[in-house]
Amino acid sequence: MGRCAAAVVALCCVVCGRSYAAPDLLVADFEGPTYGDWQAEGEAFGSGPAQGTLPGQMAVSGFLGHGLVNSFYHGDGTTGTLTSPPFEIERPYLNFLIGGGMYPGEACIDLLIDGQVVRTATGPNDKPGGSERLGWWTWDVAEFAGRTAVIRIVDQRTGGWGHINVDQIVQSEERWQEVEKSVELTIEKQYLNFPVKSGAPMRRLTVRLGEGAVREFDIELALDEPDFWVFMDVSAFRGQKATVTTKLSEKESSVLQRITNDDRITGAENLYRERYRPQFHFSSRRGWNNDPNGLVYYAGEYHLFYQHNPYGWKWGNMHWGHAVSPDLVHWTELADALYPDQHGTCFSGSAVVDENNTAGFQTGDEKVLVCIYTGAGDPFTQCIAYSNDRGRTWTQWEGNPVLRHIIGGNRDPKVIWYAPERKWVMALFLDGNDYALFSSPDLKRWERMSDISLPGTSECPEFLEIALDGKPGDTRWVFYGGNGQYLIGRFDGKTFTQQSGPHRLNFGNCFYASQTFNSTPDGRRILVGWGTFEMPGMPFNQMMDFPVELTLRSTAEGPRLFVLPAREIETLHSKKHAFSDLTLKEGDNPLSGITGDLFHIRAQFQIGAASQFGFHVRGIPVVFSTLHNTLSCFTVSAPLEPQNGKIKLELLVDRTSIEVYANDGLVYMPVGVIPSDQLHSLDAFTRGADTKLTSLEIYEVKSAWQ
């Protein structure tokens, strides 16, 4: 509203004899391509408003619209000022969003009248860590009513947090600055439910019992209609009074009244039936998941822990989520196992069954489960937690960390039991492409043994012994990193000696940070990867790839890992369609009568004169090119040589993925893709000539959530 319109409102108030708050006056919102009448000097502010996060910067949040002032232009080494044109003080409060460095006079926003600084503010950060979130700040400027003022945004600071972020400068009758607000609830039911709006300003919520904080996390609280609801399991706190606290402006404080205590998850009436919910790949009920963690089998249950943000659709608030399954297919989600504490958020790691009670944690008849994880504080360290009740409750050890900071972002411990020397062995990412092996007698005291370099990958190590060609007496050791690049070699209890590699494990677009289960009952090497694929518009995001079995087999090029889906997928088979010695002709589709969303397909093609053959799965092509000996699906491809003139394909088709396995698992290609809602068909095709399908089995697959 312009000044003329504002004057009309004021006149109406006088005529009607009623009191109305004058409308807000926008000073600047930085939504244009340039700064307009604002004058920039130096380099820090660039030629116009930033469109969010700048290169090399942590994710910036809390600003409104698309643009903001962000002086991280070319990093923290640049300096400059940004000055507004003169304007008149017409409201008692001047509100703005601010973030960045806390350096008065050097990284700040100033209000000047007659050339003198009369008000100033900074961001909240002056040491490593921190957050790039902008929050509301308010200046009381009533005493300057009618005076002419200028705003100057300053960046004269270099080094860490040597920048300032500003957005949405508004004159108002109301104070918008955030102050601490709270709501008190008596915990009588299982869940606290919180409304979430993706893109809303991020808030830091603290849940206290008495004076002690039991949970702290960041959340995009919905001030209006939520996109979805998230929950906190508070069953352990029944009968106690909880206080939920965060910083809000006065006009936003009513959102706390929407937080409820219930035995139901609000908005979960359609749980596991959502539009993009994978039906036989694990995904969390709510929130974000990434790396699988702590894969271990104990007492009839496979335990899947995972990196989890319980309170939002994006990465953050790293907890360890937890689910169990009797068969790798049907998962029951338990309460989160690990929570951020004084050592930081809980980054990736592994879990073991301490059969011999080496750590001394066992208190009953059950063997102790121990999780080994990275405490992502400042700096990163390695920590442990333990459970005496089959993983239902967890204690983060009071003696943490068990391994202090070594270098860089050292993280993601994978721990195994090395029986020949009755000791624990840890593989740990250090920095760059470097990893190290450590040993311990008790999971508490660790000694560095040797180092490993793995070009082309970082993070999330896996270290395992595996039989070559299924012969128990002839084993090799495999070491790999986050993207699955792997080495094959020998291990003498101290040093891993590389014999070949790095080799490529997967060719898909939907795979990272995989891990194998410890202590499987039948000795299989079962691997689960993070299915790196977004689920837009859902109250959850990302998934796990389907569990696969690793085997090491001899090839003409030497030993290689082969990957096939765990046989437990067969528990979901329903109707079967079988064909043999089927001749595919160009333009025909013998599968035209088969429709659905979920399939398990096994096929063997005979190479002939055709240039291409394969399937269209709900419109997505899976194609083998005989001209180039390549297999492709959606946007990815892999080299594939025929075996005895044949190509074998195995496909798992879910709502948001197609996993392709070729030639008995020599090629593994997990692909994230969302087919059209209108396409539910299958098509077997050939181009250029006829192709013989020597065998084809298609199983319609049931949902694991039924």
CA–CA gap between residue 602 and residue 608 (Å, rounded): 19
Residue pair 341/320 in contact by the 8 Å Cβ criterion: no
Average pLDDT over residues 93-101: 96
Determine the Cα angle at 130 with ends 129 and 133, to 5°: 145
- CATH 2.60.120.200 assigned to domain 23-172? The reply is yes
Region(s) of the chain under CATH 2.115.10.20 = 287-565
Q: Is the pLDDT assigned to residue 471 strictly greater than 60?
A: yes
Write out pLDDT tens, residues 180-212: 999 999 999 999 999 999 988 788 999 999 888
Q: Specify the amino acid at residue 144.
A: F
Average pLDDT over residues 258-278: 96
Residue pair 32/167 in contact by the 8 Å Cβ criterion: no
CA–CA gap between residue 526 and residue 549 (Å, rounded): 5
How does 85-113 read in b/e, with b if 16+ C-beta sit within 10 Å? eebebebbbbbbbbbbbbbeebbbbbbbb
**What backbone phi and psi angles, to 5 degrees, belong to 372?**
-120, 120
- From the number of C-beta atoms within 10 Å of its C-beta (0-12, 13-18, 19+), residue 557 rates as exposed
- From the number of C-beta atoms within 10 Å of its C-beta (0-12, 13-18, 19+), residue 508 rates as buried
Q: Is the pLDDT assigned to residue 6 strictly greater than 50?
A: no
> Residue 357, Cβ neighbours under 10 Å: how many?
12
CA–CA gap between residue 121 and residue 178 (Å, rounded): 14
How does 19-34 read in b/e, with b if 16+ C-beta sit within 10 Å? eeebbbbebbbbeeee
User: What share of the chain in percent tops pLDDT 70?
Assistant: 97
Closest CA relative to residue 296, chosen from 416, 461, 424, 427? 416
Q: What's domain 287-565's architecture?
A: 5 Propeller (2.115)
Annotated catalytic residue within 76, 291, 336, 354: 291
pLDDT confidence band for 133 (50 / 70 / 90) = confident
Q: What would you measure as the largest C-alpha separation in the chain, in angstroms? A: 97
Write out pLDDT tens, residues 216-233: 999 999 999 999 999 999
Average pLDDT over residues 526-555: 97
Residue 502: asked if its preceding bond is cis (omega within 30°), the reply is yes
> Residue 534, Cβ neighbours under 10 Å: how many?
15
- pTM assigned to the model: 0.86
pLDDT confidence band for 473 (50 / 70 / 90) = very high
Q: Is the pLDDT assigned to residue 2 strictly greater than 70?
A: no
Average pLDDT over residues 126-151: 92
Q: Are strands 25-28 and 164-172 parallel, antiparallel or unpaired?
A: antiparallel
pLDDT confidence band for 9 (50 / 70 / 90) = very low
**What backbone phi and psi angles, to 5 degrees, belong to 415?**
-115, 135
Residue pair 690/585 in contact by the 8 Å Cβ criterion: yes
Write out pLDDT tens, residues 580-595: 999 999 999 999 999 9
Residue 521: asked if its preceding bond is cis (omega within 30°), the reply is no
Confidence (pLDDT) at 199: 83
Residue 341 designated active-site: no
| Domain covering 569-701, topology | Jelly Rolls (2.60.120)
Q: Is the pLDDT assigned to residue 83 strictly greater than 60?
A: yes
Confidence (pLDDT) at 598: 97
Closest CA relative to residue 106, chosen from 67, 157, 165? 157
Q: Is the pLDDT assigned to residue 15 strictly greater than 80?
A: no
Confidence (pLDDT) at 252: 87
Region(s) of the chain under CATH 2.60.120.560 = 569-701
pLDDT confidence band for 20 (50 / 70 / 90) = low
Q: Specify the amino acid at residue 47.
A: S
- From the number of C-beta atoms within 10 Å of its C-beta (0-12, 13-18, 19+), residue 589 rates as middle
Closest CA relative to residue 272, chosen from 283, 256, 288, 259? 283
Q: Minimum mean pLDDT among 14-18, 55-59, 423-427: which range? A: 14-18
Confidence (pLDDT) at 423: 98
Confidence (pLDDT) at 178: 85
CA–CA gap between residue 515 and residue 480 (Å, rounded): 10
Q: Tokens 């979805």 — which residue? A: 228
CA–CA gap between residue 588 and residue 697 (Å, rounded): 18
Determine the Cα angle at 134 with ends 129 and 138, to 5°: 125
Average pLDDT over residues 41-55: 96
CA–CA gap between residue 21 and residue 73 (Å, rounded): 39
Q: Is the pLDDT assigned to residue 250 strictly greater than 90?
A: no
Q: For 190-235, give the DSSP string.
A: SEEEEEE-TTSPPEEEEEEETTEEEEEEEE-B-SSS-SEEEEEE-G
Q: Is the pLDDT assigned to residue 300 strictly greater than 60?
A: yes
Region(s) of the chain under CATH 2.60.120.200 = 23-172
Answer with the residue of higher pLDDT: 128 or 401. 401
Residue pair 431/410 in contact by the 8 Å Cβ criterion: yes
Instruction: Name the token pair of 471.
Output: 């012969």
Reduce the secondary structure of 529-589 to three states and give it as a string.
EEECCCCCCCCEECEECCCEEEEEECCCCCCEEEEEECHHHHHHEEEEEEEEEEEECCCCC
Residue pair 180/190 in contact by the 8 Å Cβ criterion: no
Instruction: Name the token pair of 146.
Output: 């009618």
Distance of CA 559 to the CA centre of its chain: 33
Instruction: Name the token pair of 483.
Output: 């993207």
Q: Is the pLDDT assigned to residue 66 strictly greater than 70?
A: yes
pLDDT confidence band for 16 (50 / 70 / 90) = very low
Instruction: Name the token pair of 405.
Output: 């900071």
CA–CA gap between residue 448 and residue 427 (Å, rounded): 10
CA–CA gap between residue 371 and residue 338 (Å, rounded): 9
Write out pLDDT tens, residues 506-525: 999 999 999 999 999 999 99
